[in-house]
């Protein structure tokens, strides 16, 4: 363990964190049910302190069961550039809630968010898109640098 290489990281200003959230579009959403955690890859849209998701619901969905038991969610957004050996990460936390589709910002030609819903063996006819919002009440981030 004495031969571990260390890299210095630095905190980021809120404006830089928000810019990374606005321009990245994918991350990992962590949910919980008591002492059991569940994390899923998601596409998202960030706007004015709120992160929006579209998730697919079907009968027996483990993801939606965890969503319904999670009061405060956590989204991790990050990137690593191996050529430049640089990285950054943003962690946001806040209350999660289901919302109507009319409350989720629409996708337009400028917006690459909301990648197509991934289907894993379910019939598309059995899948129901669900709007979810995470109201950010905590945001932190780190980046490497000199």
Domain boundaries, the chain: 9-144
Residue 26 β-bridge partners: 43
What does the pLDDT profile of the chain (146 residues) look like in tens digits?
A: 678 877 888 999 999 999 999 999 899 999 999 999 999 999 899 999 999 988 877 777 888 899 999 999 999 999 999 888 899 999 999 999 998 867 776 654 434 544 554 445 555 555 567 889 999 999 999 999 75
Spatial separation of the C-alpha atoms in residues 99 and 55, rounded to whole Å: 11
Q: Which residues contact 50 (CB under 8 A, 6 or more apart)?
A: 133, 134, 135, 136
Spatial separation of the C-alpha atoms in residues 92 and 101, rounded to whole Å: 22
9-144: CATH homologous superfamily? Electron Transport, Fmn-binding Protein; Chain A (2.30.110.10)
Encode pLDDT of 2-32 as tens digits. Answer: 788 778 889 999 999 999 999 998 999 999 9
Q: How far is CA 16 from CA 32, 45, 83, 114, in A?
A: 28, 16, 22, 22
């Amino acid at each position: 363990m004495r031969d571990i290489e260390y890299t210095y990281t630095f905190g980021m200003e809120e404006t830089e964190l928000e810019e990374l959230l606005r321009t990245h579009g994918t991350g990992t959403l962590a949910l919980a049910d008591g002492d059991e955690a569940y994390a899923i890859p998601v596409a998202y849209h960030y706007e004015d302190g709120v992160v929006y998701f579209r998730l697919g619901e079907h009968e027996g969905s483990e993801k939606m069961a965890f969503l319904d038991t999670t009061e405060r969610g956590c989204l991790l957004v990050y990137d690593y550039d191996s050529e430049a050996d640089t990285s950054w990460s943003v962690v946001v936390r806040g209350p999660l809630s289901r919302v109507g589709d009319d409350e989720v910002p629409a996708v337009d030609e400028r917006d690459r968010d909301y990648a197509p819903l991934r289907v894993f063996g379910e019939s598309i006819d059995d899948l129901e898109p669900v709007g979810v919002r995470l109201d950010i009440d905590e945001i932190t981030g780190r980046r490497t640098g000199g």
